[in-house]
């Protein structure tokens, strides 16, 4: 299980950045007569910086130079929410600017958040150095918890255990949180015998076992295909009045039964889950559809769809999920029917729903159907780059390279800046063109890529190689490499020499 430290491990919730979007957009500067309109807020100025390598510090300094007010709570909110959007570099810059430039005091929670961000951006060694240099007042439960979380993410058992011992010595291990972290780590590393020791220690010390403890223990049993152990967790949850019956544990149990081929028991768990989980949102419907598709039971899948599908309007995500679920069960006609239902009612055409059907077509080599439905969909509409990209991937996997190149070019021609094609497909198409000696084709693809963002050094080397093979001058290419920050180093000249030989 890949962990997202603090925001996911501590809460164990399924964070959705979109869920935080309203709050993210609610961060406004303090009202004053000189404040610009909301359309030109500090949040808006930072939001448009999509390049993770670009600094947000000039934006912050410009904001202050205009006389705009900046409050600590506002900056803390930006740090927290940029982190949720996985913009770790920008979040760290704001965290450091908050104390270094604005001279706001660093709280223990601020220090813990910064520790996590330093690990994300600069790695373990820098994070450890930062923690070691924290003042005694900032080495709080928050900081130790963040450090423990980092070691769990790094799967460093020895360091995690040492940190836990320090927390025990300082009286910081009085809740289930640090125990849950270690249980999770032991589960990942297959050290299941240590989990029982920890849970026994929790009971002896009066530390309540919560649903997160049970989830982690359940994961360990599932990983070991230990069905009696898994069922013991279910029984404990249902019999202990101090434990809240957790629908997520039923979903884990369903997956555990499916892993060992006990489909009927898995379905019984899903029925229990249906009665417990919140089914108001599109995410919960998508989750349930995916689980039922895994059972291979088409009738149950359709029952769930008829029961929980959006009734007021054709919400894109559940429809797309149902199409993929039916395709997984090899019910292409059913998937087509769901797509047609959505397409006939949708108010805004979301090509991501179409993409789900295209993936199903391409896997089965039904390219005529795929191109037909795309050609119909693009009439009067601009498709997403990902739509053509799905076809490019499909043609590449079936070794139909001329068509793959054609679809890749279409994808690149409508892609927005920052969008990148499927890397293996791009490589396969360029390899094909190079093998065909089609320098014009390579140049066209690289020109289209250049419109979407800076080229990689590998692409420049490929362009050098193709240009030399075609007898063209490489001076312009070498100059452009310098503009993009690549030196015409020994490797570049080696590419040229190899092509000439």
Mean pLDDT for the stretch of residues 71-92: 87
Check residues 434 and 409 and name the one with the higher pLDDT: 409
Handedness of CA 450, 452, 455, 459 (dihedral sign): negative
| pTM for the structure as a whole | 0.70
What's residue 53's pLDDT? 76
pLDDT band at 10 (very low <50, low <70, confident <90, very high): very low
Q: What are the Cα distances from residue 395, in Å, to 255, 335, 353, 361?
A: 33, 21, 20, 11
Mean pLDDT for the stretch of residues 403-409: 97
As a whole-number percent, the residues of the chain with pLDDT over 90 amount to 51
Give yes or no for residue 366 having a pLDDT over 70: yes
Q: Look up residue 82 and give its two tokens.
A: 């940029």
Mean pLDDT for the stretch of residues 390-407: 97
Mean pLDDT for the stretch of residues 77-89: 88
What's residue 489's pLDDT? 58
Give yes or no for residue 497 having a pLDDT over 90: no
Mean pLDDT for the stretch of residues 387-416: 96
Check residues 247 and 413 and name the one with the higher pLDDT: 413
Least confident of 20-29, 147-156, 444-453: 20-29
Handedness of CA 106, 111, 115, 120 (dihedral sign): negative
d(CA 126, CA 438): 47
d(CA 258, CA 251): 11
∠ CA(248), CA(250), CA(255), 5° rounding?
Answer: 100
What's residue 339's pLDDT? 96
Least confident of 119-133, 467-481, 482-496: 482-496
d(CA 217, CA 256): 12
Max distance between CA atoms of the chain, in angstroms, equals: 80
d(CA 441, CA 434): 9
What's residue 2's pLDDT? 37
What's residue 493's pLDDT? 56
Give yes or no for residue 99 having a pLDDT over 80: yes
What's residue 101's pLDDT? 76
d(CA 79, CA 119): 15
- Give the pLDDT confidence of 228-244 residue by residue, as tens digits: 999 999 998 988 888 88
∠ CA(130), CA(133), CA(136), 5° rounding?
Answer: 120
Give yes or no for residue 11 having a pLDDT over 70: no
Tell me what the pLDDT averaged over the chain comes to.
84
Coil/strand/helix, residue 481: helix
Check residues 359 and 348 and name the one with the higher pLDDT: 359
Give yes or no for residue 412 having a pLDDT over 70: yes
Give yes or no for residue 258 having a pLDDT over 50: yes
Mean pLDDT for the stretch of residues 41-48: 79
Give yes or no for residue 76 having a pLDDT over 90: no
- Give the pLDDT confidence of 436-486 residue by residue, as tens digits: 989 899 989 999 998 888 888 788 878 888 777 777 777 777 777 777 777
Give yes or no for residue 284 having a pLDDT over 80: no
Give yes or no for residue 141 having a pLDDT over 60: yes
């Amino acid at each position: 299980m890949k962990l997202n430290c603090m925001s996911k491990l501590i809460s164990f919730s399924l964070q959705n950045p979109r869920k935080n979007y309203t709050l993210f957009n609610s961060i406004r500067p303090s009202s004053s007569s000189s404040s610009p309109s909301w359309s030109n807020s500090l949040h808006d100025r930072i939001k448009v910086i999509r390049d993770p390598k670009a600094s947000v510090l000039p934006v912050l300094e410009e904001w202050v130079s205009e006389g705009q007010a900046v409050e600590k709570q506002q900056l803390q909110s930006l740090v927290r929410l940029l982190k949720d959007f996985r913009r770790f570099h920008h979040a760290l810059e704001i965290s450091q600017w908050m104390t270094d430039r604005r001279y706001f005091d660093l709280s223990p929670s601020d220090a813990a958040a910064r520790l996590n961000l330093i690990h994300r951006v600069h790695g373990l060694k820098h994070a450890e150095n930062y923690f070691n240099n924290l003042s005694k007042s900032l080495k709080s439960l928050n900081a130790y918890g963040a450090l423990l979380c980092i070691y769990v993410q790094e799967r460093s058992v020895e360091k995690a255990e040492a940190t836990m011992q320090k927390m025990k010595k300082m009286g910081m291990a009085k809740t289930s949180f640090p125990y849950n972290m270690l249980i999770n780590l032991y589960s990942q590393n297959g050290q299941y015998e240590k989990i029982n020791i920890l849970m026994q220690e929790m009971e002896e010390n009066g530390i309540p076992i919560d649903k997160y403890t049970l989830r982690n223990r359940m994961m360990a049993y599932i990983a070991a295909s230990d069905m009696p152990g898994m069922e013991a967790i279910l029984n404990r949850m249902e019999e202990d009045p101090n434990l809240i019956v957790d629908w997520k544990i039923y979903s884990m149990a369903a997956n555990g039964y499916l892993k060992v081929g006990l489909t009927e028991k898995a379905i019984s768990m899903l029925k229990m889950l249906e009665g417990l989980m919140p089914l108001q949102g599109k995410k919960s419907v998508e989750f349930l559809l995916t689980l039922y598709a895994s059972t291979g039971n088409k009738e149950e899948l359709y029952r769930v769809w008829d029961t929980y599908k959006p009734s007021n309007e054709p919400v894109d995500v559940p429809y797309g999920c149902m199409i993929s679920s039916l395709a997984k069960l090899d019910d292409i006609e059913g998937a087509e029917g769901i797509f047609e239902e959505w397409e006939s009612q949708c108010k805004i055409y979301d090509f991501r729903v179409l993409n789900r059907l295209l993936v199903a077509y391409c896997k089965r080599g039904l390219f005529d159907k795929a191109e037909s439905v795309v050609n119909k969909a693009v009439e009067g509409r601009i498709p997403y780059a990902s739509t053509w990209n799905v076809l490019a991937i499909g043609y590449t996997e079936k070794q139909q390279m001329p068509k793959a190149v054609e679809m890749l070019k279409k994808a690149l021609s409508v892609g927005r800046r920052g969008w990148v094609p499927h890397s293996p497909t791009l490589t396969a198409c360029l390899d094909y063109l190079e093998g065909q000696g089609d320098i014009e084709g390579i140049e066209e693809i690289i020109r289209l890529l250049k419109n979407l963002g800076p080229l990689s050094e590998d692409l420049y080397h490929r362009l050098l190689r193709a240009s030399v093979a075609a007898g063209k001058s490489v001076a312009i290419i070498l100059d452009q490499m310098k503009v993009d920050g690549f030196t015409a180093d020994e490797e570049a000249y080696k590419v040229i020499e190899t092509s000439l030989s």
